[in-house]
Structure 1
């Protein structure tokens, strides 16, 4: 369902008292859901939306009743811009940036006082939003390294230039957390195609695994046998991190889950003839060194003798692309 066409029922303050009891009854009966004071949507429609889609509805609701256009930032901006977000808890409130501390008291809104230049502003379907580069750095500054990497990887994958992210970091040197943002951008890799691949990379760094090749192309005598999410050619071995989405999402499995499973099995059979050591893990393992380390060890991927750092990853990233 498209969250941009979900109908909003807006009750202005002067009319609220006349309809208060009726609205309260409709909410209690499960017919309506209040998304913010004075704004309601049909409960069934709202419940059918994904967390990201519900967040879009919440942003539309705020924009519809705000005294001036809000500037959506951080995780809200990420949702509007189509960037991945790690952690559903960040979508429980709408995030905006304001210039005056007096504007921080909005109900259900996480408002941060921050100066945002004209060049750091954009527009998405009529809503004001921070640019992708500013959004990545804002999230990286105040969140975990892992969370920042997920969004930064997604931005690069969608085509945001690395130089734009580096410029946004340079512009944030006077703000708290900019060094974390600098590390996130240095580590970020646009070849990561999903949040699970991004979190896997962070976990590998923590384990002490040498930087793998992302989207490793494996060839046999008939040509390209397939791509692996992670390649460890020094073993040699390969790794795949899977979620249910590739089998459940109609856009990723247009012919149904069964056909997708068969296709995946045939691809893996060809790949295994060239790369016998192949490990698989899910999203949960991708975020846990304790769970991922033994999976990698079984295919011969073990920590380096020396400590692996972010600099190793970022340096190798640049060298392999010269």
Structure 2
């Protein structure tokens, strides 16, 4: 089950609300917001993003006026990869400061044009391009690159992103937004790869993304990163690759074995191979030595 499939149970009058409160006490229901509940079993194993989507749907149901979801909430609606702890509250955009006050809601005050709004699953969201602009303007460069890469990988063109920046208008953070848009690359395959690219930029590196490797048997696969001068392949590995059924349909053990076979083949046609995870990918001090040990020349090694 996902956040779209969870049934919202609306308690409309005092009798229904008392009954829902009793079921909540007994553990059968879970309260989402005033007067709106879900079956506890339906949400017991949902991801953070799906729980956030349930909260968005509940707010839209409870509100007596249209709600425009933006920033990280719109990112959830568009199913974009994101990092950072921003999903503890629902994000909306309003044009008047007095309209932004709801419980468990963060209100952002910006003008929004009609062409910057799209309906997804019955919810009003800022468009994918506007969502990238909003997140890039309100977060770090790293967080902005993650969502911008994901948007480009989902079909947003570079031209559409540039148009979204123009439509959004001047921001105090316009320089960071422009830098994110310029650096973004739809060939980045995951949030971990995007974060690693930002770290490698700090090291003075701009590798080729998703480079195909071949041997006599044919295609070995794509290396996340390729350094052509040194002929070194490199990969980011997060736990999700091995534990999430979406990426390891035959189980984590089989996925690990297949990765080992692929890497063994890849090592025979390259001069170096490097792997790392989240901790190293977010630290130039840790990632630099890993790449250097694999044979990559690093212009700005951080100690």
Whether the aligned pair in 2 keeps the contact of 1:209 and 1:302 (CA below 8 Å) is no
**Structure 1 counterpart SS, 2:38:** strand
Partner of 1:58: 55
Match of 1:194 in 2: 190
Distance, in Å, in 2 between the alignment partners of 1:19 and 1:301 is 65
Equivalent-residue separation in structure 2 for 1:278 and 1:71 (angstroms)? 46
Bigger shift: 291-300 or 196-205? Answer: 291-300
Match of 2:231 in 1: 236
Q: 1:280 aligns with which of 271, 275, 284?
A: 275
Task: Describe the superposition over 1:148-176 as per-residue Cα deviations: whole angstroms up to 9, x where unpaired.
Answer: 00000001111101001111222344222
1:77 to 74, 77, 84: 74
Which residue of 98, 110, 120 maps to 1:124?
A: 120
Q: Deviations over 1:280-311 (max 9, x none)?
A: 1012211112221221121122431699xxxx
**Displacement after TM superposition at 1:277 (Å):** 1.3
**1:22-65 per-position Cα deviation (integer Å, ceiling 9, x unaligned):** 54443344332221122111223222110010011001100101
Aligned counterpart, 1:167: 163
The alpha carbon displacement at 1:223 in A equals: 2.8
The residue correspondences of 1:260-279 to structure 2 (distance < 5 A) are 260-279=255-274
Which has the higher mean CA deviation after the structures are superposed, 140-149 or 297-306? 297-306
Q: Give the alignment partner of residue 245 of structure 2, picking from 250, 253, 271.
A: 250
Question: 1: CA distance between counterparts of 2:201 and 2:46?
Answer: 35
Q: Give TM-score scaled by structure 2 length.
A: 0.94
Q: Tell me, yes or no, if the aligned pair for 1:3 and 1:56 is still in contact at 8 Å.
A: yes
Give the Cα–Cα distance (whole angstroms) in 2 for the partners of residues 5 and 158 of structure 1: 22
- Structure 1's 68 and 188: CA in aligned 2 closer, same or farther, altered over 3 A? same
Instruction: Give the conservation status (yes or no) of the 8 Å contact 1:100–1:113.
Output: yes
Could you tell me which of 139, 148, 151 is aligned with 2:147? 151
Paired with 2:193 and 2:272, the residues of 1 have a C-alpha distance of 19
Give 1:20 shift. 5.3
Task: State whether residues 209 and 301 of structure 1, in contact with CA within 8 Å, keep that contact through their aligned partners in structure 2.
Answer: no
Q: Which residue of 1 aligns with 2:180?
A: 184
The answer for the alignment partner of 1:296 in structure 2 is 291
Contact 1:172 1:178 in 2 (8 A): no
Measured in 2, the distance between the counterparts of 1:209 and 1:249 equals 33
Structure 2: which 5+ runs fail to align?
none
Q: Is the 8 A contact 1:235 1:300 kept in 2?
A: yes
Asked whether the 8 Å contact 1:213–1:231 carries over to 2, the reply is yes
TM-score between the two structures when normalised by the length of structure 1: 0.88
Distance 1:80 1:173 in 2: 23
1:318 is aligned to none
The question of 1:48 aligning with 2:45 is answered: yes
Per-residue CA distance 1:89-139 (angstroms, 9 max, x = gap): 211111111122111110001111111101111010111111000000010
In 1: Cα distance, 2:67 partner to 2:246 partner:
33
Indicate conservation of the 8 Å contact 1:104/1:110, yes or no: yes
Say which is worse superposed, 251-260 or 162-171, in terms of deviation: 251-260
- SS of equivalent to 1:269: helix
For 1:217-236, list aligned pairs within 5 A: 217-236=212-231
Q: What residue in structure 2 maps to residue 97 of structure 1?
A: 93
Query: Counterparts of 2:82 and 2:104 in 1: how far apart (Å)?
Result: 19
